[in-house]
Structure 1
Amino acid sequence: MLLLSPHPDDIAWSLGGTVARLRETGTELVCLTFFNRTRYAPGSPAHGDSDAVTRVRRAEEDRWGALTGVRLERCELADASLRGYDDDTEMGAEPEPEVVAEAAARLSSALLRLRPDAVLAPLAVGGHIDHSAVRRAVSGPLPVPEDGLLWYEDLPYAFGADGAPEGHPLVVGIASHETDRDDGVRCYPSQLPDEVLPVLRAHAARVRGERLWAGTPAARDRFGRGLGRVVGGGSA
């Protein structure tokens, strides 16, 4: 299974409990991170120094991969902080066509090489420009089974977001894996995990887990079976 992560921490933030459940079933997980080059690390003295911050965040992601058993692959693209955006302007901005094209090319290469049976991709809830770029990169035909694509809610942006995406929801119960999620989030001290964790916990309490969205009931049910139980009523 291929997990698409705009930044080094997005899967830990959004799918930490789901990753732990999948690993229990023996599912092989590969995380493809798109925007690895960055100057953004508010919890680190290196904040603002792109070379130093990129090394810091690589080490954090390596720590998370070792903890979770997820294999890491990186696209090495420059994130919004290196493309002239700040905390305000990166939200809701249209991703640059050349950035989307590069992300799509890296994704296509990874898919052809890895041949995953399923892909989990970001919904771009909240409209972060890098998340939107990845979502657009996924918009074309993918060499995965028709029922092999699901979308995850981007956290912390999804907390308190208005409305709901179109599709068929699957809520992954993570009550027995909250410690796993929290330990994964703490692998990223440069991203202020103590500020993020309360938001993740509140969202999980609100939706009763981590929520995914499928284009068809077949895709939802297939993923639910992969978690070790046949889903019904939109939860697993």
Structure 2
Amino acid sequence: MAATALLLSPHPDDLAWSLGGAVRGLTEAGVGLAGQTFFGTTRYAPGDPAHGTLEAVAVRAAEEDAWAAWAGVRLTRHDLSDASLRGYTDETEMGAEPAAEVVDSAAALLGAALDAVAPDLVLAPLAVGGHVDHAAVRQAVLRVAPAAPVVWYEDLPYADGRSAAYAAHTVTVDLGARWAAKATGVHHFPSQLPGEVLPVLHRHGERLWTDDAAAAALLTDLLAGSLVAS
């Protein structure tokens, strides 16, 4: 039976930004990919006339649906309100502690997803940089404690320029020939100004972290030749 991975995304673009190369490699390896996007209600779409209004919800949903169909991800998107609708600014959303009720909601959605998907592996945001929505998803994962191994991905673009070790084992994605595919995926999100973020994504690359040696080995085995674990 083919392995299944559950990919957790705070916002509609986070998987393409942070895991585009890994997603392509997992798809090529025949891994079944299920995605869960938590904060689907937003008014943030700086590259689209809908920016600043709730019309941004439909714009970003259409972008993410197109990306998921192209990438081979079976996607479920939830309607939690993102930080822009909960009173945060671009400055205050970084480093803020998520409200308990927001973590509660994310944890409930995650628990249902784990029951429905029964994944062999969970890929979740580290919350590098401290974006409050990313922190909420991370806290939900820690609370629910999935039975499947958890591998944490570095959140882009927030992780750019950071080189800290976040866990015992790192899995570095060799984008190599997959960079063109990742860039194509990013261009599915014109409302998020892909031309501005692509240089950051290319410069930083993709890294994943886990304290579970077996999880690192499993991910490496699934993507033999595209990842290097240590």
Tell me the equivalent position of 1:54. Answer: 57
Once the two structures are TM-superposed, the CA of residue 156 in structure 1 deviates from its matched residue by 0.4
SS in 2 for 1:151: strand
Tell me the equivalent position of 1:227. Answer: 223
Q: Distance in 2 between matches of 1:203 and 1:172?
A: 11
Q: Distance in 2 between matches of 1:190 and 1:59?
A: 11
Unaligned 5+ segments in structure 2 are none
Q: Distance in 2 between matches of 1:231 and 1:185?
A: 21
Which of the two has greater strand per residue? 2
Once the two structures are TM-superposed, the CA of residue 176 in structure 1 deviates from its matched residue by 1.1
Tell me the equivalent position of 1:67. Answer: 70
Tell me the equivalent position of 1:216. Answer: 212
Q: Determine which of 126, 129, 133 is the counterpart of 1:126.
A: 129
CA RMSD between the two structures: 1.5
TM value normalised by structure 2: 0.94
Confirm or deny: 8 A CA contact 1:221 1:230 kept in the other structure: no
Q: How many residues align?
A: 226
Q: Distance in 2 between matches of 1:157 and 1:87?
A: 12
Unaligned 5+ segments in structure 1 are 205-209
Q: Distance in 2 between matches of 1:154 and 1:231?
A: 18
Once the two structures are TM-superposed, the CA of residue 203 in structure 1 deviates from its matched residue by 0.5
- Report the identity percentage: 55
Tell me the equivalent position of 1:102. Answer: 105
Tell me the equivalent position of 1:168. Answer: 169
Confirm or deny: 8 A CA contact 2:33 2:74 kept in the other structure: yes
Q: Distance in 1 between matches of 2:124 and 2:212?
A: 15
Distance 1:60 1:166, change over 3 A: same
Once the two structures are TM-superposed, the CA of residue 232 in structure 1 deviates from its matched residue by 6.3
Q: Deviations over 1:22-64 (max 9, x none)?
A: 10011110110000000001101010111x1000000000110
Q: Which runs of 4+ in 1 moved over 6 A?
A: none
SS in 1 for 2:142: coil
Tell me the equivalent position of 2:183. Answer: 182
Distance 1:188 1:233, change over 3 A: closer
Tell me the equivalent position of 1:31. Answer: 35
Q: Deviations over 1:111-155 (max 9, x none)?
A: 11111111000000000000000000000243433xx21000000
The answer to whether residue 95 in structure 2 is matched with residue 92 in structure 1 is yes
**Mean CA deviation greater in 27-36 or 223-232:** 223-232
Confirm or deny: 8 A CA contact 2:22 2:173 kept in the other structure: yes
SS in 2 for 1:140: helix
